[in-house]
């Protein structure tokens, strides 16, 4: 009975280099598409390859290496993107003026739910689902990722492989159509009738 000999670190590194290097160009192009910036793309490439090498010993050789590396790259990009969004801006005390304080207040208020979000919370899932079903397919998919799942515009653009500007315009059109589709439910809000009577 023969026992499988464990691969040494040197052999593992050689196999990783041999198999992954031919995919560097594809990974690099995708990193630039995700980050829209050469410096960030290089950082993403480095982070992707580091994480891939750490997990390479458990990689099954009969599976698709390119797809595996792309999946790691996408998850590393999402993690870095979310980290940057959560990280507060760092400034010295001398740099803080009235404008910066106002910007900080605006950022805090932006984290509160919008009036639209508060109204959507009062609607049943069925109402929202039916309204979403009336949207064109591309708009519906963008609204699903951006409004239901909670992805940022950049994340939605990456998932759908479309420009971020397209995501923004589809979300805008989607919100307008949803407003129109859900307007008949406005009577359920107690202050709506009062506003109409006083008009």
If asked whether residues 76 and 118 sit together in one domain, one would say no
If asked whether residues 35 and 80 sit together in one domain, one would say yes
Share above pLDDT 70 across residues of the chain, in percent, rounded to a whole number: 67
CA pair distance 47, 73, nearest whole angstrom = 8
- Report the domain count for the chain: 2
- Does 46 map to a domain? yes
Give the number of other CB atoms < 10 A from CB of residue 197. 7
If asked whether residues 29 and 79 sit together in one domain, one would say yes
Q: How far is CA 58 from CA 3, 16, 52, 55, 147, in A?
A: 18, 12, 10, 6, 36
- Does 1 map to a domain? no
- Does 3 map to a domain? no
Higher pLDDT, 70 or 155: 70
Tokens of 102: 């106002």
If asked whether residues 82 and 119 sit together in one domain, one would say no
Specify whether the CB–CB gap between 132 and 180 falls below 8 A: no
What confidence tens digit (pLDDT) does each residue in 168-199 have? Answer: 888 888 888 888 877 766 554 444 444 444 44
Which residues form the domain of 46?
9-86
- Does 107 map to a domain? no
User: What is the value of pTM for the model shown?
Assistant: 0.44
- Does 68 map to a domain? yes
CATH number of residue 16's parent domain: 1.10.1740.10
Q: How far is CA 153 from CA 49, 85, 138, 198, in A?
A: 26, 12, 14, 40
């Amino acid at each position: 009975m023969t026992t499988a000999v464990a691969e040494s670190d040197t052999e593992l590194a050689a196999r990783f280099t041999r198999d992954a290097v031919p995919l560097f160009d594809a990974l690099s192009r995708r990193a630039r598409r995700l980050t829209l910036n050469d410096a960030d793309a290089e950082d993403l490439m480095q982070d992707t390859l580091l994480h891939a090498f750490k997990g390479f010993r458990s990689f099954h050789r009969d599976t698709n290496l390119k797809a595996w590396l792309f999946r790691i790259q996408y998850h590393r990009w999402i993690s870095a993107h979310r980290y940057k969004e959560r990280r507060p801006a760092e400034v010295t005390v001398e740099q803080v003026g009235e404008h910066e304080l106002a910007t900080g207040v605006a950022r805090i208020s932006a984290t509160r739910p919008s009036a639209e979000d508060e109204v959507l919370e009062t609607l049943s899932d069925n109402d929202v689902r039916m309204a979403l079903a009336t949207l064109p397919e591309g708009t519906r998919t963008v609204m699903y990722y951006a409004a239901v799942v909670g992805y940022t515009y950049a994340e939605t653009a990456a998932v759908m492989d479309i420009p971020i500007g397209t995501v923004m315009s589809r979300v805008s059109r989607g919100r307008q159509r949803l407003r129109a589709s859900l307007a008949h439910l406005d009577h359920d809000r107690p202050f709506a009738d009062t506003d109409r009577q006083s008009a």
